[in-house]
Amino acid sequence: MRGKGCWSKGEEEGQEEKIKIKERMEERKRCESVSRESSFCTSDTHAIGIFLAHFRTTQFYEVDGFNLCLEFWQAEAERLKQQLHNLEGSQRQLLAHDLSGLEWNDLKSLENQLETSLHNVRLKKDKIMVEQIQELRKKENIMHRENMELHSEFNMIRQDSVNFQRKVYGKQDVNGGQGSSVTQNTNTPDDADEIRLELSQPQVPDEKPEAAA
């Protein structure tokens, strides 16, 4: 009886220990589950907060950015307008259309500026003139060479023509009388300059002797 009671008591203690271990494991699982859920909820809440903040900021900056862009271009337009006005005034002064309000120093500075501009214009003009003269000289040399080549070709053609005519007339002389008559009645280009036309006295018919009375 005593042994059986001791065993029962030890068994009960073991069962209680198992129950405690099981409860601790379940408690641990519940804690882990709650931790995950809270973490998930916290991350979702944080993401939603970031999204809302970004939306508000973006919306604000879109409106504010449009206003800044509009202000920038308005200021840029005013700056360009003032710059154009200054340039028009400088142009009138350079053309001597509006010298009012200029003091001696201003006029002296304007004079120096005009002299410098005139000097630069003359340098540019002289440079262009020299370049044009050089270009014309190149064209002149090219035309001179072409003229010499054409003159040489013309002399060669003329010499070939003279040689051909000499050969033709030489063959006619060898053919005898017919060739001689043809040669006599044909003038070569060399003899063309020797032909002369002269005026002669008109021929008057002879008078018939008068009949005896």
Residue 113 has a pLDDT of 87
Say what the pTM is. Answer: 0.36
DSSP calls for 63-119: HHHHHHHHHHHHHHHHHHHHHHHHHHHHHHHHTTS--TT--HHHHHHHHHHHHHHHH
Q: For 4-49, write each residue's pLDDT tens digit.
A: 444 455 566 667 777 777 777 777 666 566 555 544 445 555 566 6
pLDDT for 59 equals 52
Which of 25-29, 72-76, 77-81, 143-147 is predicted with the least confidence, judged by mean pLDDT?
Answer: 25-29
Quick: pLDDT tens for 99-153: 777 788 888 888 898 899 899 999 999 999 999 999 999 999 999 999 999 999 9
Backbone torsions φ then ψ of 69, nearest 5 degrees: -65, -45
pLDDT score, position 3: 43
The DSSP code sequence of 24-75 is HHHHHHHHHHHHHHHHHHHHHHHHHHHHHHHHHHHHHHHHHHHHHHHHHHHH
